[in-house]
Amino acid sequence: MRTPQLWLKQITKLGLILMMGVSMNADAGLFGFGGKSWKEEVLLHDGSKIIVERVQKLGGRPTLESRERAILDETITFSLPGSNQKISWAMSFRDDVPEPNGVNVVLLGIVNNVPYIAGYPAGCIAYNKWKRPNPPQILFKFDGDQWKRVTLAEFPLQLVQANVIVGGPPAEGIKHFYTVEQVNEENHDIDTPEYRTILRVPVKRGAVGSSVNCEELVYYKGAWVGPGDSIGKRMMDSRTK
């Protein structure tokens, strides 16, 4: 008499396992291949420090040789000094949308209790989405409600050096918390100027690693094409007429 009950229990367990598998697959499809999160101690221009929390959702590796997975989205959360109010910065890194995105943050600053963020376009598609700025950096100011892009003239002169881990630390061996000294160590080997400081003069084409070397691209029916392509040529010609 107990045999049917044992079979029923086994079938129930199998069903639960299958349901868990489906759920995990659904989560993988929604959130990519996982992510990473950590906290950083950020040194502000006036010598004070704040703690920021960063979360990155990751996709697959861009190439077979890539050691790191591609960033899909990033969120940076922090509070103003002396305040418990949380302020968040969110950025998508998905090339398959026409809206400007894909900004790698290099600096978080606070001047007169106003937060500022500076970053550079993460790749040539992002650089074209932001209308190919030179100096090749994207600058933002938090107006109390949302982040708005500002010009170089509006960006405070006090904000100069990178003070966050540019691009984030490697997933392998990632720490839960990084001090200011460890942030600087993570950025130690960065050579490209736009990745480590706020530039105030245009960058010459040919500069190693700079976005200014990117080919001009246009968005056409869900794809970014170069001016050398037949579609790109027609679109570029139409702009000049």
Q: Tell me: the pLDDT tens digits for 37-93?
A: 999 999 999 999 999 999 999 998 877 677 788 899 999 999 999 898 899 999 999
What's the chain's average pLDDT? Answer: 85
Task: Return the number of other C-beta atoms located less than 10 Å from residue 237's C-beta.
Answer: 10
pLDDT for res 61:
81
User: What string of DSSP letters covers 1-29?
Assistant: -HHHHHHHHHHHHHHHHHHHHHHHHHHHH
Q: What is the mean pLDDT of residues 187-205?
A: 95
Q: What is the mean pLDDT of residues 190-216?
A: 95
Half-sphere exposure in the Cβ direction for 47 (13 Å, CA): 0
Angle at 21 between CA 15 and CA 23, to 5 degrees: 105
Region of 112 (left: φ > 0; alpha: ψ -120 to 50; beta: rest) is left
Q: Specify the range with the lowest mean pLDDT, choosing from 27-31, 105-109, 206-210.
A: 27-31
Main-chain phi, psi angles of 183, to 5 degrees: -60, -45
Q: Which two tokens stand for residue 102?
A: 């894909």
Look up the pTM and report it: 0.80
Confidence at 205, pLDDT banded by 50, 70, 90: very high
pLDDT for res 215:
95
pLDDT for res 101:
97
Q: Which of 138, 136, 151, 153 is CA-nearest to residue 207? A: 136
Q: Which residue has the higher pLDDT, 241 or 98?
A: 98
Q: Tell me: the pLDDT tens digits for 144-190?
A: 999 999 999 999 999 999 999 999 999 889 999 999 999 999 999 99
